[in-house]
A and B are shown apart, each in its own frame.
Chain A
Amino acid sequence: MSFNSLPFLIFLPVVVAVDRFMPQKYRWIWLLASSYFFYMYWNPWLIVLLLITTLVSYSAALLMERYPCRKKLLLALTLSVCLGILAFFKYFNFFADTVLTVSNFLTGRSDSFFIDILLPIGISFYTFQTLSYVIDVYRGDFKAERHLGWYALFVVYFPQLVAGPIEPPGKLLPQLKSERRADAEDIRAGIRLLLCGFFRKCAVADLLGIYVNKVYANTSEAGAFAVLCAGAMFCLQIYCDFAGYSEIAAGSARLMGIRLTRNFDRPYTSQSPSEYFRRWHISLNRWFTQYLYIPLGGSRRGKWCRMLNTLIVFALCGLWHGASWTYVLWGLYSAACVILDSTFKRNIRNERPLAVLTRRVLMFIFYIPAGLMFRASSVGEIGVIFSRLIFGWETGIDVSFSQMGINGLTLALILLTITAMARLYDWGNYDLPPAKDDTDTARRVLSAALIITIIAISWLALLETEAAAGFAYFQF
């Protein structure tokens, strides 16, 4: 069930209302059943993989505590099973196709091979969450959960099941088991977060997506300015899509008294690539840092080792996003940015407002190529789009705008939605301070009313143009 669908708008209030009055002893049954229902709504058979992952990681963690001398073997087995499932369902065709392309190139043949495998929704997210649990138990950082019901709920808790945030067991499991329920402040914060999330998704991301799609529908004809605008708009689209999803997830959980990790912290105010990745998809970057970058040696073994580790982590992070070389290229480009930044960062510290603004703008421009790569459907398309970006300047700006279908009204709409989205940061704060006075309360109430109306209008407008889209990160 997608967050931006009518069934979810019925499902969430029902789950929250029943959860509020459910005795603690039975709470896990209700939330677990609801979460399985939420997941099975797409395809009931996908639950089998989720159950296998749950049972394997649960048993492995218990056995690690019972037989400490077999810990390594159990960890290796769990990693093989969980990553094996992920590798088969997500990467089999990708690897097979890559091997076949190389062999065709060497032998001059033109064989093709493809198995129609259904990609289970959210598999990368729940696999990483279960791995973080098993690795934490292996390291002795977390005690294995004995109750299968609570553990299964930790794996499948519906607000963060299909697109994160990837929660560490030490943060989510104790909250799930706690008797604490949502208070009035939690309810207010939950509703605010839900509204912010829906606004980002329906009013900003889906709107920008219409114009980005027009450029990508005919890349060979696109002017350089259209490509540049599409890159910039896609950066904002993917941010609003995923940050919107994360806010809806956090808002839904907060209505049940559970606080999820803040996944985005204004990434486009970053002044450097390193800062950008500390603010973007925080839970995934934390996962890669804790469970891959630091075990590889991090930055402790000298400059060259740090560069190599950064390259490995970003290439895998790119591959995590999808089984395509476009994502690997995106990862390598990001790694190159981070390496350059960490190599030269001592020379660019200047805290004057103009310098800060310049660095922020440069950072955004620097990131447009990454957006263009991330959105492309193949390496060939990346080549076409970059050639248009370099050689397509003979096409005028007015022609570029008409290629994207942008007129005066839509341009104003785009600029205003982006401004409103930027202003939402304070309003959608996870812990907004109480209103100072009655006027402040009135402003918040009016903002909420306007946001609800804009979401409704955007939804209707998008349905009218059939441009309402699913969440981009579901495919990962």
Chain B
Amino acid sequence: MRKIIQEIEGTARSYFQQFGFAEEEITALTAQGKRDLETNLNTLASMLTRSGRTMAEEDSILHALKGLMLQLGDTARAETINEVRERLDEEKGFETIATALLEEVPA
């Protein structure tokens, strides 16, 4: 999880620099971004280990992560999440995306 967060942090930093934000503003934004990512990725990880979750719950967490990643400039990952969100009704669809997305999250 740490790896993915670090990668997104790097992407976000360059992304915000393009808009001419001050370094302190970028640091504050990326720090908040890291916290939000961590919270949502932890939720995703705990959902993976929980049985009886609904498809709406799965969609909701993936939606949140997608939005966050888009806002942090990581469109590639957001796109990947989006593709899998459309296949949530497939068997093991959620596990596939979660595992692919978060290499370190226990399946």
Partners in one complex: no
* Interface residue ranges, B against A (CB under 8 Å): none
Q: Identify the A interface with B (CB < 8 A).
A: none
